[in-house]
Structure 1
Amino acid sequence: MQPIIPILFAAVVGMGHAFEPDHLLAVSTLVTRHDRLGPALKDGLFWGLGHTTMLVLFGSIIIFSRATWLYSGYFEAAVGVMLIGLGIGRLLDKNSYQSFQKPKQQAGFAYTVGLVHGLAGSGALVLAVLGAIPEPVWAVAYILVFGLGSVLGMLAAVGLMHLPFTQRMRLGKRLRASAVVLSSALSVGYGGWLVWANV
């Protein structure tokens, strides 16, 4: 029954995991396109589901096959490339600078972004979990609860980061453009650092 104790805390750890810089930067490029909280939360939810899906699937492969060699820094580099692409894409998107835009729903795209993040994080997570929970079934249970916790954490993060872009805040064009440029530059810069550090 010992593995139950760390599993109970897995959701809390997962919630904290959602606030890592690469996660926040990627999701911010998605949710700040929305003026209403509902669609923004939907993107955050699908990011979290994609993240959890990959954690569980890829993590299970590593756990049951004991193929810890599958963990690679190239997965982190892939996240870096994605962050660069998201940042540049947002800079070039004219709708990013307009107030009260109504972008198309992009749940599938948000889910894909989450999948890439889950792939990058699964190897390190599995290695850490196996050190504390050697039983494969319990280890997978931990990862699942951890992933669901990250979904809750991301929903909370989306609610906070979306506030400046709501209609009530009514950001001026210059201020909104400055926020877009700053967040995009951070995404490109951090993504470049991830690529440089992991290739």
Structure 2
Amino acid sequence: MQVVLPILFASVAGMGHAFEPDHLLAVGNLISRRDTMAEALRDGVYWGLGHTTTLVVVGSFILLGRVTFLTSGYFEAAVGLMLVVMGISRLLDQRREAAKVRPGVAPSRAAYAVGLLHGLAGSGALVLLVMSEIRNPWLSVLYFLVFGIGSILGMFIVAGMCSVPFTKRMKINRVLKLSAVTLSSLLCIGYGGWMIYGSI
């Protein structure tokens, strides 16, 4: 029972993981470029898939290969740098009227890539936590997979909630939308800088 319970609660933990500040900022930045909730939800799912991919692959690599360098804080710094770049990019994009991202394969790839990097940064800490609870490495891998599924669902919810002010149906005031995008971008830059400072 001590082994089964952590796995049963893995999906719930994964959903909660999706609501961490750096995840919210990254996905909020991505979906602020979208005009429909469907596009935003797709970005949320692809972010979750990227996060889960890295979590399962890297987590398995650490557990089964006894690799320790992947628990380095430099990956957290990389996520911080990514947030800074995303924030600056969004500030520049809103000044270009023709800078709308065309719906299609490219936006999904961007969201997937962002999820991949976030998964890399969080894998080390999660592996250490799971190793203290589950001794069987294959059960630990199962935990990562269930945790990842929970994070996909959680990010789907996050994307839907965050996208509401940016959908066409809201007909949000242009100045208000500009302010919201500027604020989210500055938060991205500020939090990213704090992550870099705290990780190096």
Where on the TM-score scale, by shorter chain, does this alignment land: which range?
over 0.9
Root-mean-square deviation (Å):
1.6
- 2:108 aligns to what? 107
2:39/2:103 contact within 8 Å kept: no
Distance in 2 between the 1:94 and 1:182 partners? 12
SS in 1 for 2:168: coil
Structure 1 range deviating more: 84-93 or 69-78: 69-78
Distance in 2 between the 1:97 and 1:23 partners? 27
Distance in 1 between the 2:42 and 2:166 partners? 16
Cα offset, 1:34, TM superposition: 1.1
Distance in 1 between the 2:103 and 2:93 partners? 13
1:27 maps to 2:35? no
Distance in 1 between the 2:181 and 2:145 partners? 34
Relative to 1, partners in 2 of residues 1:195 and 1:97: Cα closer, same or farther, differing over 3 Å?
Answer: farther
- 1:197 aligns to what? 198
- 2:142 aligns to what? 141
Distance in 2 between the 1:102 and 1:196 partners? 31
Cα offset, 1:69, TM superposition: 3.9
Q: Which runs of 5+ in 2 are unaligned?
A: none
Post-superposition Cα deviations, 1:1-28, rounded to whole Å, max 9, x if no partner, equal 5422110100000000000000010011
Distance in 2 between the 1:109 and 1:38 partners? 16
1:38 maps to 2:38? yes
Share of identical aligned residues, percent? 56
Distance in 1 between the 2:39 and 2:103 partners? 10
1:15/1:151 contact within 8 Å kept: yes
Relative to 1, partners in 2 of residues 1:153 and 1:86: Cα closer, same or farther, differing over 3 Å?
Answer: same
- Superposition pairs of residues 55-134 of structure 1, within 5 angstroms: 55-94=55-94, 103-105=102-104, 106-134=107-135
Aligned residues: 197
Distance in 2 between the 1:41 and 1:95 partners? 25
Distance in 1 between the 2:72 and 2:101 partners? 39
Could you list the structure 1 runs, at least 4 aligned residues long, displaced by more than 4 angstroms after superposition.
95-98
Q: Which runs of 5+ in 1 are unaligned?
A: none
TM-score normalized by the length of structure 1: 0.94
